[in-house]
Each structure stands twice: as structure tokens, then as C-alpha cells.
Chains A and B, each alone.
Chain A
Amino acid sequence: MLRLTLAQMRRSLGRLVAAGIAILLGSAFVTATLTAGDVITRGGYDAMTAAYGTADLIVPPADAPVSEVLATARAVPGVTAADPLLMGWGTFESGRRAVNETLVSAPSTPSLGSLEVVEGRVPTSATEVALPPASAERLGVGVGDTLQARWYVWPEEPVEQATAEAADEDAEAGDAAPADDDVQELTGDVVLVGLVEDPNNAWSRYGGAGLATVEAITLWSGATDPDDFGSSNVLVEVDGDVETVRAALTQELAGADVLTRDEAAARAVEQWGGGNVIVMVVLGFAAVAMLVAALVIANTFQVIVAQRTRMLALLRCVGARRGQLRTAVLLEAGILGVVSGVAGVVTGLALAQGALSVLSRTQDGVPLPTTVTPTFGNVLVPVLVAVLVTVGAALVPARAATRVSPVAALRPADAPSVRARPGRVRLVLSLLLTVGGFVALAGGVALARAGIAVDAMLPLAIGVLGGGTSFVGLLVGSPLWVPKVVSALGRPVAALSTSARLAAANTLRNPRRTSATSTALVIGVTLVVMMSTGAVSAQQSLATEFDERGPVDLLVLGTPGEALDAAGRDGVATLDGVETVAVSSVADVETADGRATEVLVLDAADAGVLRDDTAAEALADGRSVVPRWWSGDVVRMELQAADTAVLDVLARGGDRALLTPQAAQSLGIDEAPSALLVRLTPGADARTVLGDVRDVVGDDSVRVESAAAERQSDEQIIDVVLAIVIGLLGVAVMIALIGVANTLSLSVIERRRESATLRAVGLSRRGLRWMLATEGMLIAGVGALIGAVLGLVYGWAGAATVFGPVSEVRLSVPWVQLGGVLLVALVAGFVASVLPARAAARTPPVAALGVD
């Protein structure tokens, strides 16, 4: 049977290659993902290992307090040093500039340190710190300079004691800022005693790290005692035999784990697992690609079996059992799966290697291996998946092969076709899944809109489940309804020309194959459009939220009561990207119960500068707009500035109050032009404008803030995530397009005589090529259109579910992406037809005469 299978495969090579490419892409995707996951994990492992310096043994966090472990460890013979490995954060300021720095506890001996001191020394007291050169440069300080450290203490902690303790060790510390009930902000002077570098990239995922003493890190983290600080590894340096010391240490620590550096790193990576989540998500996309590939494979094998009907019948005539025919088909699928799977692994590894080479050349400081190391699993899994998918997809065609009756060998071979009428079971199953799924989806949306769900995740879970179910239902039922869509769309196309009419008619000849081909495309396109719709709806929905929270694009805030520099004011107005500037006053105002906030005075005539229309209307009505967190939902409230007054107010979501000029007068607020409210022109880059304004104003006492810049970076995150997701889904779309090409070339082979007839009765080569191009574009276009519609529905439902509770949902159509998808589909459908059409056009008209 094997020899026969191989001989048959050779005959159908062209068809199998096309199907193989689909599988190849899928398994390359899986391989590249797994390899990338490995690289991430290994990077984490290397970083962990580097973080431990050259410690011989590591005691992971145990029940016993760190100080006890340290004391015990230091007492064990053979231990030369033991340090806790503490990691915390500190905020340091110099003048107007500040940096947040990850801090690592300073080692008592260089061998337990992961950072290299390049200048100065290791900090030895709580008022000393060592920073990376980049941070020092940003602060504009050098070794020996004094910085301000800023930290917070939470009231649950014994605040007085903390201050006292800090004061004990640091005479200058403990300058407590005015506190409200929540958090106490503390500052203290520290001296920069050294600059440290991270040669082994131990901390590069935190953006580098500085050094401070254990006491300082504890203090700045708001804790009082290293033991309260939380879990911390203890690094141990050993003189002599490591294993002996390890045993002694284990005993002394009452059975606690004592690990070598490598063991500890491996365990940390396991717990950390950050890379694995990403890998799992990407593997999800790879699964979509594989699913699409499976559709392409199933399609191909169906046609191959149909074309071999005569041969299969002949085999049955000469004595082949049904089982043998099935085995032959499955064997063929298996061989195809192995070959394409292996090719996919090679491609995937090559891609990963290429990406690594590029990254390691362009990304300095990111710890990356220079070569990929294929592990057994990473190679085996994609091949296995490829074989399973291929054989699985060939199961139905294999069954069709067994149904070929021996008599078929004796009949004249006419256009073979797989005649499998969509069954009633399929209809019922599809209807159940689709209707049930959509009901659940609608239920999820309704729950989210009503906001009555017990758990915020519940509507989303119901929605995802419903959406997934209904999509599966639609896919299962696709042979039932996709041909109708093709037929409906084919009608206007048919009116274009005779070639187009023939093409439209052709797409309906094998509805099942056409629908399977379109469906493969529907999957990818639906997901792409869904993501785009979700993202655009998210941006639109959040826009309302953003408008309320940050009603002014850009604020220039001076000192209350002091007029801003007039030149600066005029300068801002003439900047590129600035649409309107409203001159305002800034002041501090308190409520009757002592809550304070900053207010801006805005004339209703200037309210056009606001993004928030509701706030603008309120100002026009003579009401002031105040933050909700500050006022609650009152409509009148008493405020104090120089004077006290009771005002009509509207509570909104912003951070600052906006007062009408009348309200400002009644409060006795100085109306000096101490602030500017700036509205940016649409499409202006908020960050550039922010920088420009800062340059123009150029005064340390003036603050420049831009809500638009924050908003822009939020929106950019959505854009970047969307781009990545679309890129990942693109693989599935690409495989589906290979499926379109495959279907077309199969049609061309099947219709050889027909093409020849058309040529004989007067269809030109170009006409024939156009016919196939139209057919390709119609199949791809239908797939893209159905996918676009489904994607819109799912995207809207998703946005309504996710953003329903948060803000008013705006259902938006991502026109750019929609247009892009349709264009890509049409172009790809056309391109997919090029090779098959060339083959068809080469068919000599004489072929019409032959009896094959």
C-alpha cells in the first residue's frame, strides 16, 4: 500500500504542495512561538542567575524571618558571607527632575553582588545610594552630590516609629509633609556615593537597578524591618566544599530548601512564568492558523479523492478492501503532515533565528541568545500537531474514498465531484449552536449594560462563550448558507461580462468546496475585523471618558495670583498644533470640610476650549464644574478661597474645578492671568506640542500638563496591541488565501476539457484568465465580506460588554481596516488566480476534443 500511496502522491504533487504550504505555515508559526517562548524563558533564567552574582548557595524565602536565616547561615562553618537579596524602589529628585529607580540591596562582599561599581563605592549607610549612570545623568548629578529621596508610609504601619527609626539613622530625614488620612509622604537627603552598571543584564527587565543598604530599601518601601519587607532570598558565599555546607545549612535551617544558583534560577523562572502567558496567547493564534490550514487540507483531500474515483474503484475491482483505501488516504495525509511539519519546523527556526539576529543587532542591553537552540519538544510538537491536523482533516475524505463502488471503474469518467449533501444533523447542530450562541452573546451584552452582574467578569465570560459558540455554529453550517451568499453576490458580478458570468456560475458548481474555501478566509477575517472593531470602539468609548476626565488638552499653570509672562502666553498661541488658547486664572480652593483642590476660572465664552461638552454647557448656564471625588453629587456647595461662597455646581469626572468668572469673584480669587487652557488641533502630536509649550514657557515655576498626551499614549498602546494581533492573525489569513489558490488550481485541473471548449468556441486566453481571476476574487471577496460582517457584530458585542459598565459605548466601524481587509482579499484572490489561470490558458483548444 505504501508504494501505491507514494506513486499516487507523485501524481498529485502539485495539489499536495499547495496544501503542504498551508500546513508548513501553521507549524512554522507554532515552532517560532515555542522557540520565542524558550528565548524569553532562557533570558529570564540568565537574568535570574546573574541576579544572584556568584553566590554558591541560595536560601529561598522561608517561614523564618530573613534576619534569623541570615544569623543562622552566618554561623554555619564554611559560610564566608550571607546577604539578603532585597529588591525595592526609590524615588530620587534633584531640582525639578526625578527618577524612579529599582534598588537592590548592597552586597557585603562583591561576589554576592550582581551590579558592578564603575565609579565611587557601594552604599554603606541609609543615607547613601548608588545609581546607574543613565539615571545620574538624567538627574544631572555626579558622585558626591546630594539627592532628595521621597517615599510614602501607609497608616497601617506604625508611622511614628518609622520616622523615629529613620531619624535615628539619618539626622536629616523625617521631614513629614502635611498628610491626609491615607498616605504619609516623607523625604530625606541622600548622597550619591557610586555609579553602578549591570554587565550581565540581571535587572534589565526592570530598566536597570541601583544599590542601597537593606535599611534604606526597607525604609523607602514603607516597611520598618527587613523581616516585614516580605520574601527575600538569602545569598550565601561558601569557602570549601559546597555540598558539605549545603547539608549543614539545611540542617541548621530546620529542613529549609538550600539551592544552588542554577536550581534557584530554574525555580524562580518557573514561578515567574511571565513569558509563558504571552506564549500561550500567541499559541492561541497559531491554533487559529492551524484550524484554517485544516480546512484547506480537508478541501484538498476531498478533491484528490474525487479525482481518483476511477482509480479507487479500479483498486476495489482488483481486490482492495475499504479499509485499505482509507488507510491509503490517511497514510498520504500522514506523509504530507510529516513532510510539511518538518519543513515548517525548519522555516520556523529560521524565522526565529532571523528575528534574533536582527534584534540582537538593534537592541542593546536586552539579554538575548545569539542562536536559537531547538529543543526536542519544540521540534517534535509542531510536527506532531501538523500530522494530527493533516490526518484529522483527511478523515472525512478518507471515508468518501471507502464509499467509491467498484462499478465506478467501469463507468465513463465524467466530471468527478464529491456529492455530499449537507445533512439534517448539520443543520440542526448549526442552528442550535448559532442561535444559542447569539442568545448568550446578547445576554452578556445586556448584563454588562444593565450592570447587574455579580461579578464584572461574568458578562464577558458569557459573551465570549456565546460568541465562540455562535461562530462555531456558523462555521459548521457554512455549507448551508455560504453558497447562498456567493450566489447573491455573484448575481451583480455576473452582469459585468461573459467571463464574469461564467465565473459566478462556476463558484456555484461545487458549493461545498467554495464554501469551505471562503470559510477558511472567514475565520481569519472575522477575527481581524473583530479586533479592529473592538479597538476602534474602545478608542471611541474611552474618548468620552477621556473628555470628561481631562477636559483640557493642555494646561499651563503658573503661580496663583501671579500673571504669566506675556511673551510666553503669545508664544503658546502661535505654536504649531495649538488651535485655541483661553487665558485663565489658577487658584486653590477648599470645601467647607477642608478638602482642597486646584481651580481654573473659565469664561463661558471661552468654553470652546473644553473637550467636555457637558462641562461647557454647565459653564454657559452659570454653574461651576467640580470634581466628583471632591464634591460628591451635590448641586450646591460652600467653597472657601479668600472669601466663602455657596455655588451652583455640576459634578464631573475631572481632577480640577472649573469656575465661572462670577463664582471666582464671589470667592475673591485673584483674576491675574496665571493659567492657559489650550486646545490642540485635531491630529496634532500631543507630545510634540507639550515639549514645544514647555520650551516656550521655559520657567521652572510654571507647570505644563497635557491630558491629550496621556490620552495619546493610551491610544497608542491600543494601536500597537491591535497591530500585533492583526499581524498574528495575518498568518491565518495568508493560509486561507493559499487555500483560495489551491481551490482555483484544482478547479482548473478538473475543468480542463471545459476550458478547452470555451477556448474552442471563442473565449480568448485573456478572457479565460479573467474568468478565473473573477472566480478567485469572488470567493475571496465573499469570505472577506462575511468575515467583515461577523467581525463587526462580534467586535461591537465585545466592546459593549467590556466598556458597557465603564462608559457610554460608541459602536464604530473601523473603515480603514475594513477597506484594507476587502482590498487585500480581492487582490489576493486575483493573485491566487494567476498561476492556475496561466495553466488554464495553456490548455490547447484541441483538449476539448479528447475523451479523457
Chain B
Amino acid sequence: MHTSPRPADPTAVDAAAPASRARALTKVYGTGAAAVRALDAVDVDFASGAFTAIMGPSGSGKSTLMHLLAGLDDATSGTVHLGTTEITSLGDDALTRLRRDRIGFVFQSFNLLPMLTAEQNVLLPLDLAGRAPDRAWLDTLVATLGLQARMTHRPSELSGGQQQRVAIARALIAQPEVVFADEPTGNLDSRSGAEVLSFLRRSVRELGRTVIMVTHDPTAAAYADRVLLLADGRIAGDIADPSPESVLAGLEGLRVLEAPAGTPTGATPVVDVTAGGRR
């Protein structure tokens, strides 16, 4: 059943087609005077086999960007591609199939189904697709995430960190092209958060997945290969190989940008920023 498009081989990270791509992506909430431009003509590419963090202050549009990239919400204008598929024009059924087969999600509040065991939760996307689980891949995931002893437990019997690891396994089980993580450490203590983040990084480095994570925590963002900064619905910065310090500095820069002093937008980035994500 492995007929759906697979992500490029990890060694082919530099291949031409990015895992996810947005062009002139715009999202407007409300109409007339109450209209809010959550995303303003954003152009961005996410490389395959990379771990990207999207950061920005509240209301910067980072969550909206992720929803649109994942096909969870409709764009006002612009296009989103997942691999070579343009998803902005897809209907609900096609989007559902796309999410099921080609996208994985990790949520802030884990969102495991309480009535299913950990294993059943992990296998849910395959069950929904009517696909037989790839046992070897399941074992790999379970071993990597350290869940061997927990697979028969229900979510209520698991700690927050364990629940989130189960959620990561669920996101990866169908070998999706992209995993979207929405504040995956938001509900976790720092130790569990660190664990979860290293698992996400390992899934990129060792398992060749593509992960796009939204977070407001610079320490979390520092686990990524690249940090994308958003402000006012636009790309405001792009940090490669970030460290907590460089991320913090980038955020400081945004605060400067936001300052009412009338500083020309994007004119004096504190860190090396490639505006618009173009390389």
C-alpha cells in the first residue's frame, strides 16, 4: 500500500521540490472595518528533511500560517503546495485523505482519544485509511520514542510527556511528508518538553521526516534547523542553525520592529534575515 508519494530520500534534502511551499499566501479574518489581515502575501518554502520552527509574538499569524500549510483552514488568496500537490484548491474529502496519508499532527494538548490504548491511538490514521500497519516501522517508532512498556495503556494512565510521545508516534506512523507540531511542549514541564523536542529532532535526523513546529519558546525553537520569525502576518526573519540566544536576539529584533518609534519595517534586522524566505 506504499503507493502514496514518499518524501524525498534524506540524502536528497537539497532536491528542487520543497516539502511545503506557500506563495502570496493571504488570510483575512472578518470583513470591512473589522477585517484582520492575519497573513499578508507570505512566500515561504520548507525544505524536505528539515526541522523548522515558526516563531512570533501572539497575533503574528504563526498559527494561521501553520493551519493553511496543513490544509486545516482555507486561504483568502495565494497557494499552498504539499510536495507537488496544490492543496488550496482541494475539497474536503481530498483534504481529509491528504491529512490522513501525507500529513502528521502533534497538538499542544496531545489530543489522544481517551477511550483508545496508546497503540490504538498510534495506529488510528492507518485504521482510518484501512491500511495495514508496517510492523517494523511501528517498532522503530516505539523504540525511538521509548514507549515499549506503554503501548497497552490508556492516555489517562500516561504522563504528559508520554502522551505527547504517543502523539508523535501517531503523527509519524503513516510516514507523512510533513509533520506539523503546534506548541508541542506548551502543556509539558521543561524536562518532558526537552524530551519531546529531542524526539522531534531525532525523527528528522534519523528517520528523515520533515517537521514544521509552531512555538513561542526560544529554547524549543533552538532544537530546530531553522527558525522563521513572523510579525504582523509577514515573514520578519529567518535564522539558520539557531541557538536559544540567536532566537532571543531575533525576537528582540521583532520587538524593535514593533516599537512605535517608526523604525522602517524590516530595515534594520538585528540578525541575518532573508526576508520572504527566498534563498
Contact = CB atoms under 8 A, between A and B. Distances in A.
Contacts, number: 81
Contacts of B130: 498
A506 B115 contact: yes
A761 B104 CA distance: 7
B114 interface: yes
Nearest to B105: A760
Interface residues of A, number: 27
Contact of B100 (A501, A506, A757, A761): A761
B111 interface: yes
A185 interface: no
Task: Select the residue from A415, A506, A756, A846 with max chain B CB neighbours within 10 A.
Answer: A846
B108 A851 contact: yes
A505 B124 CA distance: 13
A415 B114 contact: yes
Interface residues of B, number: 29
B91 to A, nearest CB: 11
Contacts of B67: 846, 849
A502 interface: yes
B128 A762 contact: yes
Given A763-B128, A845-B72, A846-B73, A757 B113 contact: yes
Contact of A502 (B72, B96, B113): B113
A844 B124 CA distance: 19
Contacts of B93: 764-765
Given A509-B115, A846-B73, A849-B67, A762 B107 contact: no
Contacts of B124: 498, 758, 761
Contacts of B129: 762
A149 B138 CA distance: 98
B97 interface: yes
Given A498-B128, A505-B115, A761-B128, A845 B108 contact: no
A849 B107 CA distance: 6
Contacts of B170: 761
Contact of A759 (B96, B107, B108): B96
Contact of A753 (B73, B100, B105, B111): B111
B74 to A, nearest CB: 10
B97 A757 contact: no
Contacts of B99: 759-762, 845
B73 A844 contact: yes
Interface in B67-108: 67, 72-73, 92-93, 96-97, 99-101, 105, 107-108
A848 interface: yes
A743 to B, nearest CB: 16
Nearest to B66: A849
B192 interface: no
Contacts of B125: 761-762
B241 interface: no
A620 interface: no
A848 B100 contact: no
A757 B114 CA distance: 12
B99 to A, nearest CB: 5
Interface in B41-84: 63, 67, 72-73
Contacts of A761: 99-100, 105, 124-125, 128, 170
Interface in B121-136: 124-125, 127-130
Interface in B18-44: none
Interface in A729-768: 753-754, 756-765, 767
B97 A508 contact: no
B182 interface: yes
B198 interface: no
Nearest to A507: B115
A672 B105 CA distance: 97
Contact of A765 (B96, B105, B114, B182): B96
List the 7 closest pairs (A to B, CB-CB), nearest first.
A762-B100, A505-B115, A757-B111, A498-B127, A764-B96, A846-B72, A845-B72
15 contacts: A498-B127, A498-B128, A502-B113, A502-B116, A505-B115, A754-B111, A757-B105, A757-B111, A760-B72, A760-B99, A761-B100, A762-B101, A762-B128, A763-B100, A846-B72
